[in-house]
Each structure stands twice: as C-alpha cells, then as structure tokens.
Chain A
Amino acid sequence: DIVLTQSPALAVSLGQRATISCKTNQNVDYYGNSYMHWYQQKPGQQPKLLIYLASNLASGIPARFSGRGSGTDFTLTIDPVEADDTATYYCQQSRNLHTFGAGTKLELK
C-alpha cells in the first residue's frame, strides 16, 4: 500500500503563503505523470478537487492555489491566503488504487 504523510495542522496569517506537504512511501510517478491530487474540505461540506496530477488546477479553482512535486514529495501552496481558505486539505494518490493522506488543517493566526 502507498502511505501518504501530511502534517496535522498549519497556521498562517492572512495574505501570507501557506505550504502544505505530502510525502509518500513509494514513487507515484508513471509515464511522465505524477498521480497526486489535492482536495479542500470545509466543515460540513463534501471535498472539492483543487489540483490533479500534481500541478494542474481544477476547473473554477483560483490561481492562488498551486501544486508541485514529483516522485515522493509534493506540496500544495496557497498564496496569498484568504479567510475563506480555512479548511482541511487532503492529498490523494492514484498510482496504485487510491489512498488519501490524513489531512492538514489550515488555520489563521
């Protein structure tokens, strides 16, 4: 099984940059693509796709969100952070079936 590790929480100030990391115990690259995706979930709501294949912005997602990485190390960046960005962020791999990270809760300082 591919295990995804995320930090539990992150606190940033409004207008600053938030960087959320996701590390895997196996390479999730395959034929030039990194099978890593990111979701945002606000309390009481369903998850929303933000980034697919490590760096592609999903439809309707503001350009403040970006993703990068390859192999076993990935990051989701929000710059600048807005109040509405307080949520839990999950990474998910699809190189071998599906697994999610435990989530990173983003809070404002």
Chain B
Amino acid sequence: EVQLVESGGGLVQPGRSLKLSCAASGFTFSNYYMAWVRQAPKKGLEWVATISTSGSRTYYPDSVKGRFTISRDNAKSSLYLQMNSLKSEDTATYYCARETTRPLDWFAYWGQGTLVTVSS
C-alpha cells in the first residue's frame, strides 16, 4: 500500500524558513517523480514543486521559484521542501504527492497533508 506521510508544518513568522518532510513507503521511491501541492484554507489546489527520480531536475511555478527548494533522499525514501522568505500567502496545507515514472504527469497518490501557518 502506498503511504505518504508529511511532517514539519507549524506556525512560522513572515520572512522565516521552514522545511517539510515526506516519508514514503509501499513503492520503489526512486522510480517516481515526486511533488508538493498546497491548498490555502477554503481555497483550491496549487502545485508547488516537482522533482525528477534522481533529483537532478526540479520544476516550480513562478509563485515560489527562488524561495522554495524541493529535494529528495532516495536512500531514505524521503521528500523535502525547504521554504524560505515565507509570506502570509504561503499559509496552506502542503501535500506530498507521487507522480508517475515520467516527467510532469498526474498525481496518483497524496499524503494527508501538513499545515503551515505564516503569521506574526
């Protein structure tokens, strides 16, 4: 059974940093592209980042490019999201998601999410 468990969320002040983690199990982690998708309270879904199987290629929307960094440790079956210079509009539930074995397809599995609140 595919499982994705996020952690690391919490309350953080504007301008500060936070690092999210996602522990994956139930599949061969190194074979899949992985992603982060977020959802602000009562709002829709917004894709945040995608990383290739080896970690050599990363993709971001303009809204987070230069502030967020996605990374992975295939030996630990773990995905990370380093978020810097956080803004109030980054407040959201952040979901870890498994894509496919090809670049930028669909999100086949999702974790339960971790809430990040950016506020002073």
Chain A residues near B (Cβ < 8 Å): 35, 37, 39, 41, 46-49, 52-53, 58, 90, 92, 94, 97-103
The answer on a CB contact under 8 Å between A90 and B47 is: no
**Contact A94 to B110, CB < 8 A, known contacts A100-B44, A100-B45:** no
Q: Which residue of B lies closest to A6 (CB)?
A: B44
Which residues of A are found within 8 Å of B61, using beta-carbon distances?
Answer: 97-98
Q: Which residue of A lies closest to B109 (CB)?
A: A49
Which residues of A are found within 8 Å of B11, using beta-carbon distances?
Answer: none
Complex alpha-carbon distance, A16 and B50, angstroms: 38
The answer on a CB contact under 8 Å between A97 and B110 is: no
Q: Which residue of B lies closest to A33 (CB)?
A: B105
Complex alpha-carbon distance, A90 and B50, angstroms: 19
Which residues of A are found within 8 Å of B45, using beta-carbon distances?
Answer: 39, 41, 47, 90, 92, 100, 103
Chain B residues near A (Cβ < 8 Å): 35, 37, 44-47, 50, 59, 61, 95, 104-113
Task: Report B50 CB to chain A, min CB distance, Å.
Answer: 7
Task: Report A28 CB to chain B, min CB distance, Å.
Answer: 12
A sample of 10 more A-B contacts (CB under 8 A), given A46-B112, A53-B106, A92-B107, is A37-B107, A47-B37, A49-B108, A49-B109, A52-B105, A52-B108, A90-B44, A92-B106, A94-B106, A100-B47
Complex alpha-carbon distance, A41 and B44, angstroms: 10
Complex alpha-carbon distance, A62 and B46, angstroms: 26
The answer on a CB contact under 8 Å between A46 and B111 is: yes
